Structure 1
Amino acid sequence: MTAPLPWPLAYTVSGDDCRTPVPLGFAAPLAEAVRQLAELGYDGVEVQVREVTAHDADALVRTVGGSGLTVLGIATGPVAGQDGLTLTDPSPDVRRHALDRLLGAARLAGALGVPLTLGQTRGRFLPGLEDVQRAWATGAVRRLAEETAACGSRLLLEPQSRANTSLWHTPEQALAVVEAFDAPAGLVQDTHHLEAEGIDAVRAVTDHARVTGCLQLAASGTRGPLEAGDPRLPALLQALHQGGFTGWLTLEHTQDDDSREAAARSRTALTRAAATLT
């Protein structure tokens, strides 16, 4: 038995500005990806970008909307993943370039009226530079949150595992950062990163559902597509429902050599889990 999800369901896709498809997103150009995702019953996409501005909004809306989907969020992974730009790089030129890219993404998110998410672009510490790098990153993220708010949107900060970044690994650490800002901001929670840090995902969602703008999902252990019957899924959906979650769900996982099949499997697993909601 399946049931409609109470929240919009998105899949990770690569913007046309990306050098290659992102490894945890649909392995096809944007127009083809959204066409297939629409056929599978998805509501929208979370678009990974590397070099964009508000001027890219109209083209993005035409491409995504042409298939009947919506852009639910703008993500910034390729800024670091494809170009190696981070907010903690020892080079001031690299840090400036990274922030400029992120500000462009913030303006695009504002033009679309959707949140901006930030993960690995905050970077990694070098021995002896931890304190100054933390200050660089915190200042830059504050500036990004302010710009995102000024553009009519908000920043969502993603706790990520220490394999990806030296900063803000738990929801509590990320919340301590965003709650210090005057600008509105919240969290992205990702089941893979929570698991990698030894955090129970259901507990994290239960504790922080109202400040979470997006929950990213992948299979436990493998970070692959979701499997029907995964016992975590009903509990996660119930925690979101009871916690007053008002954001969206994103599938962000490996593609197992066939993105269409991966997307179909993950959607089926979620809609079956949704049948248990009360």
Structure 2
Amino acid sequence: MTAGLPWPLAYTVSGDDCTAPMPLGFTAPLAEAVRRLAELGYDGVEVQVRESGAQDAEALARTVEAGGLQVLGIGTGPVAAQDRLTLTDPSPDVRRHSFVPPDRRRPSRRLCLGLSGHPGPTRGTFLPGLEDTQRLWAERAVRQLAEEAAGRGSRLLLEPQSRANTSLWHTPAEALAVIGSLDAPAGLVLDTHHLDAEGVEVVGTVTDHAGVTGCVQLAAASTRGPLTVGDPRLPALFTALRDGGFAGWLTLEHTQDGDSTKAAARSWTALTDAATTLS
């Protein structure tokens, strides 16, 4: 592993199928982003995608592996953010297109083979009088996604997000209630920004849930920017992950401050500095 950490370190990037780079990821075409991140010493990438058929998966894997990195995770946030498709939309056509259109949802299990993926289209805002129905739509979809992912040797991860993003699963406890109802393996993504936004104490939450967490997404507190050297939360966070038996990966998901290479280098340096507490 790099940066002196016992876990793989990834950076958020956008697939070439995105209509624009995701604002919390490296702002360069995929091949260029992979090359620069490899030079900085990252282990892999977490790729945000829109299209995910077999050909898309093969091309993505070739691009990342040619740059010397691994695809550590797949996110489908652009399906919601760029195409406005969610699994809780009142329109049956929108829900159908967010889940089963050719070369988008169903073939994506190939892309997630051997990885873990978290679905963007589960985002959505509840409408008055439809809350229970929309929640049921989302939970049914998650159940199917988890079963399909498990059938391909993968695992679905649910990310609790702040209420500014979604009406669904704002806290780890709410996401774990859904995970506990599934017949297929699933886990958590813990994003420090969303935990902070919901007033959930980060280190204590990681301590409690390290074993079921597949990915921790990191950003500076309050700014959601790159990490800074001397961040007092990082050493305690790393100790909680190690002592809790965390076996996933870390992802930098933050704003780029106008220069992705410098932002990635800043976060890398901060993590390297904080990792000395584990030695």
Alignment of 1:223-262 (within 5 A): 223-262=224-263
Range moving further from structure 2, 247-256 or 95-104: 95-104
Q: What code does the residue aligned with 1:225 have?
A: P
Range moving further from structure 2, 77-86 or 121-130: 121-130
1:13 equivalent in structure 2: 13
Counterpart check, 1:191 vs 2:192: yes
Q: What code does the residue aligned with 2:60 have?
A: L
Is the 2:110–2:152 Cα contact (8 Å) retained in structure 1?
yes
Q: What code does the residue aligned with 1:33 have?
A: A
Range moving further from structure 2, 130-139 or 54-63: 54-63
Is the 1:228–1:268 Cα contact (8 Å) retained in structure 2?
yes
1:31 equivalent in structure 2: 31
Counterpart check, 1:105 vs 2:108: yes
1:86 equivalent in structure 2: 86
CA distance in 1, matches of 2:278, 2:10: 20
3-state DSSP of counterpart to 1:199: coil
Distance 1:3 1:150, change over 3 A: closer
Deviation at 1:18, TM superposition (A): 0.6
Deviation at 1:133, TM superposition (A): 0.4
Is the 1:76–1:102 Cα contact (8 Å) retained in structure 2?
no
What do the CA deviations read for 1:46-74 (whole angstroms, capped 9, x no partner)? 00001112332221121111111010011
Is the 2:163–2:170 Cα contact (8 Å) retained in structure 1?
yes
RMSD, matched Cα: 1.3
Q: What code does the residue aligned with 2:21 have?
A: P
Counterpart check, 1:275 vs 2:279: no
Is the 1:144–1:155 Cα contact (8 Å) retained in structure 2?
yes
Counterpart check, 1:177 vs 2:175: no
Where structure 2 has 5 or more consecutive residues not aligned to the other structure, the ranges are: none
Is the 1:234–1:273 Cα contact (8 Å) retained in structure 2?
yes
Deviation at 1:120, TM superposition (A): 5.9
CA distance in 2, matches of 1:230, 1:128: 44
3-state DSSP of counterpart to 2:251: strand
Alignment of 1:205-224 (within 5 A): 205-224=206-225
Deviation at 1:178, TM superposition (A): 1.1
Is the 1:122–1:167 Cα contact (8 Å) retained in structure 2?
yes
Q: Would you identify which runs of 4 or more consecutive aligned residues in structure 1 move more than 3 Å?
A: 101-104
Is the 2:226–2:256 Cα contact (8 Å) retained in structure 1?
yes
1:141 equivalent in structure 2: 142
1:45 equivalent in structure 2: 45
1:61 equivalent in structure 2: 61
CA distance in 2, matches of 1:165, 1:102: 20
Is the 2:87–2:141 Cα contact (8 Å) retained in structure 1?
yes
Is the 1:124–1:166 Cα contact (8 Å) retained in structure 2?
yes
Is the 1:102–1:144 Cα contact (8 Å) retained in structure 2?
no
Distance 1:226 1:120, change over 3 A: farther
Is the 2:80–2:120 Cα contact (8 Å) retained in structure 1?
no
CA distance in 1, matches of 2:127, 2:109: 28
Question: TM-score under structure 2 normalisation?
Answer: 0.96
What do the CA deviations read for 1:164-220 (whole angstroms, capped 9, x no partner)? 000111111101101111111000000000000000110110000000000000000
Deviation at 1:3, TM superposition (A): 5.4
Range moving further from structure 2, 80-89 or 119-128: 119-128
Is the 1:194–1:200 Cα contact (8 Å) retained in structure 2?
yes
Question: TM-score under structure 1 normalisation?
Answer: 0.96
CA distance in 2, matches of 1:204, 1:99: 31
Where structure 1 has 5 or more consecutive residues not aligned to the other structure, the ranges are: none
